[in-house]
Amino acid sequence: MRLMQALCLVVLGFSLSAALTGKCPSPMMDLIDTATKMTMTCTDDAECEAAFPGYVCAPGTGGSFCCGAPGSCNANFVAIFEDDDFKDCTDCAAPAECQNEMCCTAAQPAEADCDAATEVEVAGECQPKVDIDAGACMDNAQCPPGSGATCSGDMAAPGTCKCPDAMPVKVNDICMAKATIGDPCLDTAQCEGGTCSPTTKKCECPPNNIKDAAGACVACAATEVPINNVCEKMKNLGETCPKGVAQCPAGATCNRFCLCPAGFQANGPKECIIATCNTNEVKVNDQCLPVLSPNGFLCYYQEQCSGGSTCVDFMCTCPAAAPTVVNNACTGTGVVTSTAAPMCTGNTVRIGTQCMAKTTDGACLNVNCLLTGNAGCANYPPYQKCGYNAAERNYFCCP
């Protein structure tokens, strides 16, 4: 009741039913909740006093709200209530001050009209938003929201937005913690001595590194490759690959040996290139095979036979209507200029139109394939598989 009487004194002739400003009765001032931008509701004076000194809980439009009574205070000040009445200047302690025989305190400052994109309100004034480690700040509100950064300065001595010691890594204006190998991560900048895997989202050792017993990354030599956290020797084409294809040059396959895949051929010890056939060869199923004249041996595909012949029982054979060969072509008339090559003798075997030597045990063709693998045997059917020959103690083209 005494509060209502005090309010009547404040109005000085104005009715509480006069035009309203916000939710509080005129001429009282609304206490605006900075989060909701609406007048703060209340159940008692203590709530309002805790939110902003000098404001009391008063009936307003649609409920009870935190309101400030100007009394006889100067503009932008509210009168302090004590024992449900205005407080006089006796014992009016700072920051309150005596005005017109009434103890008054500063009212909530009006909200500044700031540019939301580039500014934020600090102590009733618009201040620029500041990135981490860039530009001066006076309040945490100026730092990127949700970044974890805080302002190292204040109104008296501006500072900068800094990441806390527990999250010292800045990534896209967000403070993040450091991480060691095996720890969860969001960005490589967090990882100490490694990189952040895009799939596992954990810090991993850089390429061509392994992790030692202490968890530190150790680089393999230039001639090595990490396999199952062990630095293994890199292999050339034609060399064995006991640890799998990871030992082989890029693009190669591992089938006991580092080999070029079908359709490719070795270009030195470390490179597979698309296979190109010679002028006397034809590509069939990604293999370069010899082109054979009529009566030529040994054919596997029709494409190998020329001059009108076809592959019959591994020999390029002329048709019955043109049984003879003239100028490397099947014909029914004329002088025969080419016939079947003689049979090979000794430890030799016919490959196309030529006799080629075999290994001493006769098991393989005497063509070393250590450096070329199967690719180096492609032109010698049926000796098209590179294998180990015990008699020669080396790798040759075998059937």
Only one residue has tokens 């720890």, namely 183
Predicted local confidence at residue 287, as pLDDT: 73
pLDDT at 202 over 60: yes
Least confident of 63-67, 85-89, 225-229, 351-355: 351-355
Predicted local confidence at residue 381, as pLDDT: 85
Predicted local confidence at residue 389, as pLDDT: 83
Only one residue has tokens 């509701």, namely 41
Least confident of 77-86, 106-115, 152-161: 106-115
DSSP label at residue 158? -
Mean pLDDT of 311-338: 80
Mean pLDDT of 231-237: 95
CA distance 366 to 397: 7
Mean pLDDT of 372-399: 84
Predicted local confidence at residue 343, as pLDDT: 66
Predicted local confidence at residue 33, as pLDDT: 87
Only one residue has tokens 């992790």, namely 211
pLDDT at 334 over 80: no
User: Which one, of 397, 370, 367, lies nearest residue 236 by Cα?
Assistant: 370
337 versus 142: which is more confidently predicted?
142
Predicted local confidence at residue 21, as pLDDT: 42
pLDDT at 216 over 90: no
Model pLDDT for residues 52-99, shown as the tens digit of each residue = 999 999 998 889 999 999 989 998 899 998 887 889 998 898 899 999
Mean pLDDT for all residues in the chain: 85
pLDDT at 338 over 60: no
Predicted local confidence at residue 5, as pLDDT: 41
User: Which one, of 114, 137, 146, lies nearest residue 34 by Cα?
Assistant: 114
Predicted local confidence at residue 373, as pLDDT: 83
pLDDT at 385 over 80: yes
DSSP label at residue 368? E
Percent of the chain surpassing pLDDT 90: 42
Predicted local confidence at residue 313, as pLDDT: 83
Question: How many alpha carbons lie under 13 Å from residue 117 in its C-beta half-sphere?
Answer: 0
| pLDDT bracket for residue 333 (50, 70, 90) | low
Mean pLDDT: which of 2-6, 193-197, 371-375 is highest?
A: 193-197
6 versus 206: which is more confidently predicted?
206
Burial of 12 (0-12, 13-18, 19+ CB in 10 A): exposed
- Confidence (pTM): 0.39
For 323, the enclosing helix (H) or strand (E) is: none
Burial of 124 (0-12, 13-18, 19+ CB in 10 A): exposed
Model pLDDT for residues 8-41, shown as the tens digit of each residue = 444 333 333 333 347 898 889 999 887 788 899 9
| pLDDT bracket for residue 6 (50, 70, 90) | very low
